[in-house]
Amino acid sequence: MPSPSPAPVPSPAPSPSPAPAPTPKPDLRLPQARAAVAEAEKRLAAAKQRLEAVLRLMRGATTERQLITRQLAEANDLHGDLQRQIAGRERQAKDAKAAAEQAHQLQTATSKVVGESKKSFAGAQRSLKDATAALEKQYLKLPETIARQAAIDAAESALRLEHDRVVKGLAGDEEYQKLQSDADARETALKHLRDDPQIDSVTLTDASQKWIDAKSRVDAAERAACANDPKYVAASEAHAAARKAQQDAIATYKAGIPTHPDIVEHTKAIDQASNDLSSAENRHKQAERESRAVDDRARTAIVQYNDVADRLHHARLERDQLADAVRIADQQARQFQQQVTAANTELAAATRALAEAKRALAELEQVRR
């Protein structure tokens, strides 16, 4: 077998050329340390400013909360006072309402009594009128009253006979006949006009007046003839005397009616009913006055109650608003406290960082020496 070839011997590596000497770098640690100190001082100053700003805000919020707290205390006092007031006003309003209801009931009751008293008074008057009429009717049935009325009737009949006799005696009087004929003619003409549907009212009225005037002239002529006739005058005087006798007797009887026992009792009943009515009306008027006064007091009490209720409503709103403001102030205080804590933490960190930077700077400066 052939023997293996020997391994080649490597040629020696060339020796490296010597490296150039390094350029010395500047020492920046000291400037950097000084810059770090300056930066730490800035951070510390900024932290102090932030802490002072937060403390100022916190003091302002604390002052404002104290003010709101005082206002809330005053609002609570006012609210409590108004609650006590409205309780009193409510009692007054209820009492006034109850008094008004009682006054109205009394007014109604007295009005009813007045109505009953009026009925009693009217009944007493009717009783007196009926009793008086009964006595007058009873008087007319007395024999002497009937006799006097018979005398009147006889005298009246005699007077009519005398009147008819005198008028018949005028049949031969030419002037009277002319008057009678004129009256008859005008009456006939008036009847014809009334039967005419187309006649106007003026013409009808004129014709009617002319007939009345003509009839009056006839009556005047008859009265004149009767006045000049002795028998008629005597009959007229007898008739007048009979009537006067009856009238005088009736007047005398009526004059004594008020003293009749029955009438006296009825009169007393009327007087009593009148007094009762007057008393009832006075009590009713007093009840009306009291009712109006009580109504006025009730309205005033309601107005006062509503006024206090309105003030209480606004006081409650103000109290709630102030309570909300206190809660908000407390929340702000907690937030400011958190900010103060954070600012203190930041200030402490900045203080430590500044101390560390100053220590490092001092060490470097010591080494340089």
pLDDT at 4 over 90: no
Confidence of residue 21 (pLDDT cuts 50, 70, 90): low
| DSSP output for 48-113 | HHHHHHHHHHHHHHHHHHHHHHHHHHHHHHHHHHHHHHHHHHHHHHHHHHHHHHHHHHHHHHHHHH
With CA atoms as reference, report the closest residue to 280 among 115, 151, 124: 115
For 200: left if phi > 0, alpha if psi spans -120 to 50, otherwise beta; the answer is: beta
Between 17 and 81, name the one with better pLDDT.
Answer: 81
Summarize the chain as % helix, strand, coil (round to 5). Answer: 90, 0, 10
Q: Which residue has 């400066």 as its token pair?
A: 365
With CA atoms as reference, report the closest residue to 57 among 335, 349, 326: 335
Say how far apart CA 48 and CA 54 lie, in whole Å. Answer: 10
* End-to-end C-alpha distance for the chain, whole angstroms: 80
Section 286-313 average pLDDT: 92
User: In the chain, where does the domain assigned CATH 1.10.287 lie?
Assistant: 30-108+291-368
Confidence of residue 8 (pLDDT cuts 50, 70, 90): very low
Q: What is the per-residue pLDDT across 91-134, written as a single tens digit (0 to 9) for each?
A: 988 998 899 999 999 989 999 999 999 999 999 999 999 999 99
Q: What is the pLDDT of residue 309?
A: 93
Phi then psi for residue 22, to 5 deg, are -65, 145
Confidence of residue 316 (pLDDT cuts 50, 70, 90): very high
In this prediction the pTM is 0.53
Q: What is the pLDDT of residue 26?
A: 62
Say how far apart CA 288 and CA 281 lie, in whole Å. Answer: 10
Which among 198-207, 235-244, 324-333 has the top mean pLDDT? 235-244
Q: What is the pLDDT of residue 18?
A: 55
Say how far apart CA 55 and CA 34 lie, in whole Å. Answer: 31
Average pLDDT taken over every residue of the chain: 89
Q: What is the CATH number of domain 30-108+291-368?
A: 1.10.287
pLDDT at 243 over 80: yes
* 177 Cβ contact partners less than 8 Å away, ≥ 6 residues apart: 170, 171
315: buried, middle or exposed (CB in 10 Å: 19+, 13-18, 0-12)?
Answer: buried
Say how far apart CA 285 and CA 112 lie, in whole Å. Answer: 13
Say how far apart CA 98 and CA 298 lie, in whole Å. Answer: 9
| DSSP output for 311-337 | HHHHHHHHHHHHHHHHHHHHHHHHHHH
Section 50-60 average pLDDT: 90
Phi then psi for residue 198, to 5 deg, are -95, 0
Confidence of residue 336 (pLDDT cuts 50, 70, 90): confident
* Count of residues making up the chain: 369
Record the tokens describing residue 114, joined without a space.
């007045």
Record the tokens describing residue 158, joined without a space.
């005699």
Q: What is the pLDDT of residue 20?
A: 56
**Widest pairwise Cα distance in the chain:** 227
| DSSP output for 109-127 | HHHHHHHHHHHHHHHHHHH
| Stretch among 25-29, 36-40, 43-47 having the lowest mean pLDDT | 25-29
Per cent of the chain over pLDDT 70 is 92
| Stretch among 7-11, 177-181, 282-286 having the lowest mean pLDDT | 7-11
Section 22-48 average pLDDT: 82
